[in-house]
Amino acid sequence: MSERESQVFKNQLTNKQFPPLNTPSKTIGGLEGRGNCPSESVKNRSHKNKTKFKRKKRRKISRDQLPLTKRDLLLLEKLDTFGLLSTQQIENHIFNNIDKSTVLRRLRILKKRGFLLASDGLPRGGLVWTLTKKGISRCMSLYGYIKAINRNSLQHDVLLSEILIHLQKRNIVEVWTPEHVLKRKSIGGGLYTWDWSHRDPHPLIPDGLFLTEYERKKRTVALEVEISQKTIKRYEKHFSFYRRRKDLWLIWYVVLNKSFGEKLLSLWRKEKSSRTRCGFSYSTVEEVMKEDFVLPEIMEEEGRIAKMERLEEE
């Protein structure tokens, strides 16, 4: 280095003529730089590369959009069979050993998604759950949609569902046809032919019909659940109608106490209609809820709470 060049270099050091880091420097190798920072063109290229390989964010799925579980489908099938269930029944028979708050949260989700409908009217603010049209279509219903619920008979309907649950667990009920289906089929046809149009403009419809096996044959039983006593004339009219039915094997009443059942049995014996093969029996709710309850044994044994009078065809 010559003397002049060394003097210029010293002057630059003393006068601090180096470019600051935040000011653009001269091009080095054909690229503009900002001190130690990369050039703007390098920044642009790196930004494009980042956007090119950026991962896509997963779409969050809410609980309302999740598919139905096996337990949900089981609930829809049970509601289709029984017509309605209370919150306590759903918790005891479908959501076994699951916290009540979890059960209520799941029921609210199914209600929000349009599968269930909640109705009040039970004591202590209890709710009754039924299927909507969407729930009927989702579970491929065998019984159809219940248009309206009678709030005055909610306790009766809940007790009927509880009785059916216990009968199905003991394999007593093979095929069940509820009341609202019988009303639609009252013209005739279907599994049971109930054509009263030529006999009575207001036909008697039981709480339900079910098939049961007795002596290796399928028998048809009409089930009536009575939680409140009615007039004697009404029971006499019912018994007169039932005795004319040749397609029934048994009229079975489920009552709250034994004295009421004995009263019904005495009214049945006083009826002087033409004799048929249809029989009569009654049971108390307490008896039905027992684990050893078997319908054929109760019909055969005498002296039990549930009795039956068999009328042989002449």
Percent of the chain with pLDDT over 90: 34
Distances (CA, A) of 102 to 99, 108, 109, 122: 5, 10, 11, 21
* Sign of the torsion angle spanned by Cα atoms 270, 271, 273, 279: negative
How does pLDDT run across 16-45, given as a tens digit for each residue? Answer: 555 555 545 444 444 444 445 555 555 555
Shared-domain flag, residues 83 and 214: no
Instruction: State residue 273's pLDDT score.
Output: 56
Rg of the chain over Cα atoms, rounded to whole angstroms, equals 39
Shared-domain flag, residues 272 and 192: yes
Residues 42-62 have a mean pLDDT of 55
Q: Are 119 and 146 in contact (CB under 8 A)?
A: no
Which of the pair, 169 or 25, is modelled with greater confidence?
169
Query: For residue 286, is it within any domain?
Result: yes
Q: What does the alpha-carbon distance between residue 96 and residue 19 come to, in Å, rounded to a whole number?
A: 78
Q: What tokens does 16 get?
A: 């601090």
Query: For residue 215, is it within any domain?
Result: yes
Q: What is the CATH number of the domain that holds 117?
A: 1.10.10.10
Query: For residue 225, is it within any domain?
Result: yes
Instruction: Please name every residue paired with 281 in a beta bridge, in sequence order, or none if there are none.
Output: 252, 308
Residues 278-289 have a mean pLDDT of 90
How does pLDDT run across 237-254, given as a tens digit for each residue? Answer: 888 888 877 788 889 999
Shared-domain flag, residues 194 and 125: no
Q: What does the alpha-carbon distance between residue 252 and residue 247 come to, in Å, rounded to a whole number?
A: 15
Residue numbers of the domain that contains 101: 67-149
Picking from 81, 114, 149, the residue at the C-terminal end of a domain is 149
Picking from 149, 180, 204, the residue at the C-terminal end of a domain is 149
DSSP state letter for 75: H
Tell me which residue has tokens 């209520």: 104
Which of the pair, 28 or 262, is modelled with greater confidence?
262
User: Model confidence at 103, in pLDDT bands (50, 70, 90)?
Assistant: very high
Classify residue 78 by burial, with Cβ atoms within 10 Å: 0-12, 13-18, 19+: buried
Residue 67 phi/psi, 5° resolution?
-70, 160
Instruction: Please name every residue paired with 32 in a beta bridge, in sequence order, or none if there are none.
Output: none
- Judged against a pLDDT cut of 80, whether residue 84 lies above it is answered with yes
Q: What does the alpha-carbon distance between residue 147 and residue 294 come to, in Å, rounded to a whole number?
A: 34
Query: For residue 62, is it within any domain?
Result: no
Residue 311 phi/psi, 5° resolution?
-110, 115
Shared-domain flag, residues 189 and 96: no
Query: For residue 165, is it within any domain?
Result: yes
Question: What are the helix (H) ranges across the chain?
Answer: 3-15, 40-52, 70-82, 87-93, 100-112, 133-138, 154-169, 179-184, 232-243, 258-270, 285-288, 295-300
Instruction: State residue 191's pLDDT score.
Output: 40
Shared-domain flag, residues 108 and 218: no
User: Model confidence at 276, in pLDDT bands (50, 70, 90)?
Assistant: low
User: How many domains, the chain?
Assistant: 2
Shared-domain flag, residues 157 and 131: no
Q: What's the mean pLDDT when you consider all of the chain?
A: 76
Query: For residue 57, is it within any domain?
Result: no
- Judged against a pLDDT cut of 80, whether residue 111 lies above it is answered with yes
Shared-domain flag, residues 186 and 291: yes
User: Model confidence at 292, in pLDDT bands (50, 70, 90)?
Assistant: confident
Q: Are 130 and 114 in contact (CB under 8 A)?
A: no
Instruction: State residue 142's pLDDT score.
Output: 76
Residues 273-293 have a mean pLDDT of 82
Nearest to 253 by CA among 299, 290, 217: 299
Shared-domain flag, residues 158 and 122: no
Q: What tokens does 104 get?
A: 């209520």
Instruction: State residue 256's pLDDT score.
Output: 93
Shared-domain flag, residues 145 and 155: no
Instruction: State residue 240's pLDDT score.
Output: 83
Picking from 133, 149, 165, the residue at the C-terminal end of a domain is 149
Shared-domain flag, residues 218 and 80: no
DSSP state letter for 216: T
β-strands 279-284, 175-178: how paired?
A: unpaired
